[in-house]
Amino acid sequence: MKNIRFDFTCSRQVPLYAHLCNQYLHYDALNINIGCDGQNGFGPYNYFIEALGEQTQLEQLADAIAADFLISAWLIDSSIKAIDEHQGGKTLLNYPQSDSNQALTPFCQHCYPLIGDNQSAKFGALDLTCPCCKGETLLTPAQKALTLSDIHAMVQDLLTQGLSTQNLPTQDLPTQVTLTLAAADNLQLSLTPFNESLGGRPQLLICNPNTLNAHFCLNDAQVLALSSIEKPLICARPTQEHDKLNAPLYEICFAYSRVTLVLAEVLRQKGIDWIYIQGQHQRPQLAWIDGAWAQICSVGVDSVAVKNFIAPEPLRETVIFHGYQAKWQASKRSRSRLQQGELSVAALPHKPTVEGFTVESDDFEGNDFECTDFDDNDTENHTIADAALFSALLNGKFTSHKPAKNAAVIYLSHSHASQIVTCDNKGDTELFFALPELPDNGYEIFHQLDNSPQNAVAQKFKHLFPGDYLALLSLKLHGRRDNLQSLWAIAAILMGLNPQEETQSQEWLSDALLAAAMRYHGANAPRIDYPLTKGEAHRSLNWCKTLGSLLSFRIAGNDDPSQLAFAMQDSLADYLANWLEHIDLNIGVHNIALAGNELVNETLCKRISLRLGKNFPLMINRSLDVDGNNLAVGALYVKQRRLNSHA
């Protein structure tokens, strides 16, 4: 007889895993105990199953568990080990569920082969009952009414109209040929790209996973994430010189609902490997940060997206942040509850609910919101980065009786000011660095380069690369410009990544630089300068010298844009490491938090992990988004912030 324990360590809650653990309590062949370490706090959740039995019985159990426990994007480790005694019990595990249904995922290993395999007699039976995932309860009446014949007819109509225009140049397309699935949140599908003026990276539904590597350059972690039960969006680079995928980067996903599962299989049968999608599909967008996945920003709430946390008591009575007002109702709690205030945050942009708080929001709309009560451009109130710092350190690192201290945050975002904020041994924060606001047009950018010590290289660039010079003059930057995305867009033009025949958006240009950096696999790269400027309140970046050093390498004959693009990422990571070492000498740095949606940049994240991770522990609170609900939670711990008079 042997005691065996199966462990599944996850960076955040996985309701399906909790459900499966509960199911295995009824495994008759063996005496089973279950448990979950970390259910009542931020940080890793370790689901485990313990069993006592003979070798043959345990092998059969292992096979069953391997078949049932589908890969989760949040799974960071799994193991089987012999134990001396059980630590689990017979108590069912709790997990978040929606009030309206009990579904854990739209389909699972039991119903997927029946619904999604065209050789199955049940193929296309969207309302098929599944005792495991209960995915049928997620269907709306309109979705339940869809038949396989309806889906075949819609696909045929799309192909008849779309294939006739698929090979035409974009400017010659008569109209966008789309299929709108009213029964699936008005999801739009098209064989051709949607209007790029709407902004955002193109999104694709992969219909034929078997041809994935023929179209995209992916690693094993990305393929596993695409196949995971969360079915997230993954940023992927198409194979070089692909004849149809012309954008630098795409966000791709596998079928994520019963409707898209059947639709994708019908399209695959018709020879379609992927199709453009657009709409409120609410796929989580993930980024690989320091060896594991993290969610960039929640885009909606479904049956498993609402997360329940136990967080330390906030450090102040009232917080007004992002249009939310949250008041700590400490007087209503016993002393034991005071030491650990329960906190439940629903994924933004929906109104968060906070147990123990009153939450109010008057005119909050959408995901692209403004800070009405805290000005994140105010260097004295660097609240956004402060909130990101405290939310990251909530990952088991501090409580109300042990405040966060000796830490720093690198907050890189194109939604808010990109900053480095430090926290000393008293818990007081200070703004160390903020990216400067760049000019909004190419004329002014070149004018400032030409009137700086970089004048010589600017003039040589103008004469040696007149096409790129004209592309720079045509550049218009919109929205926030104190971010890396704007800097990457300018640099992409300077290194010749902009197509000569047209002017691309700043998002496209930034992606072009990121994709070029991902293509580089060399060991060495030039060192691009990121010199600091010292202002009255904080340091910033001398961007003219940064771009001047980039131009100097190109003028000297470096004609490999992928090497220069990589050099910009590697050099920035190196400078960040040097700056943090300087901070460490002054205040002592025990942890460095990473946050912000610019972390979707795969190359920069790798270089930061390599450069900074050698000397400092890197903190990412994977229980929260890195640029979303983490800010709302972290704001509860920000001290000494004034409120605007209208608050």
What's the pLDDT score for residue 101? Answer: 52
- In terms of domains, do 150 and 212 share one? yes
Q: Is residue 317 part of a domain?
A: no
For residue 226, what is the domain's CATH number?
3.90.870
- In terms of domains, do 481 and 532 share one? yes
Report how far residue 151's alpha carbon sits from residue 266's, in angstroms, rounded to the nearest whole number: 8
Q: Which segments in the chain show pLDDT lower than 50?
A: 98-100, 164-166, 168-174, 300-309, 315-381, 400, 641-647
Q: Is residue 617 part of a domain?
A: no
- In terms of domains, do 14 and 128 share one? no
Burial of 338 (0-12, 13-18, 19+ CB in 10 A): middle
- The DSSP secondary-structure symbol of 402 reads B
Report how far residue 74's alpha carbon sits from residue 219's, in angstroms, rounded to the nearest whole number: 17
What's the pLDDT score for residue 481? Answer: 93
- In terms of domains, do 70 and 119 share one? no
Task: Name the residue among 119, 176, 115 with its Cα closest to residue 151.
Answer: 115
- In terms of domains, do 132 and 27 share one? no
Task: Name the residue among 206, 203, 241 with its Cα closest to residue 223.
Answer: 206
Q: Is residue 369 part of a domain?
A: no
Q: Is residue 386 part of a domain?
A: no
- In terms of domains, do 508 and 461 share one? yes
Q: Is residue 304 part of a domain?
A: no
Of 544, 564, 579, which residue constitutes the final position of a domain? Answer: 579
What's the pLDDT score for residue 265? Answer: 95
Give the distance from CA 265 to its chain's centroid: 27
- Give yes or no for a contact between 329 and 356, defined as CB atoms under 8 angstroms apart: yes
> What range does the domain containing 491 cover?
442-579
Q: Give whole-number Cα distances, 179 to 172, 182, 199, 328, 349, in Å.
A: 20, 9, 20, 48, 27
Task: Name the residue among 140, 258, 260 with its Cα closest to residue 204.
Answer: 260
- In terms of domains, do 229 and 165 share one? yes
| Locus of tokens 């199966």 | 6
- In terms of domains, do 67 and 186 share one? no
For residue 74, what is the domain's CATH number?
3.30.70
- Give yes or no for a contact between 225 and 316, defined as CB atoms under 8 angstroms apart: no
Report how far residue 615's alpha carbon sits from residue 611's, in angstroms, rounded to the nearest whole number: 8
Of 563, 579, 595, which residue constitutes the final position of a domain? Answer: 579
Q: Is residue 188 part of a domain?
A: yes
Q: Is residue 363 part of a domain?
A: no
- In terms of domains, do 116 and 28 share one? no
Q: Is the dihedral of CA 62, 65, 69, 74 positive or negative?
A: negative
Residue type, 478: H
| Locus of tokens 């089973």 | 32
Indicate the angle between helix axes 484-494 and 442-450, nearest 10 degrees.
80
- In terms of domains, do 72 and 148 share one? no
Q: Is residue 569 part of a domain?
A: yes
- In terms of domains, do 77 and 116 share one? no
Report how far residue 498's alpha carbon sits from residue 493's, in angstroms, rounded to the nearest whole number: 5
Number of domains in the chain: 3
Of 564, 579, 594, which residue constitutes the final position of a domain? Answer: 579
- In terms of domains, do 262 and 138 share one? yes
List 79's β-bridge partners, or say none: 7
Q: How many helices (H) and strands (E) does the chain have?
A: 19, 25
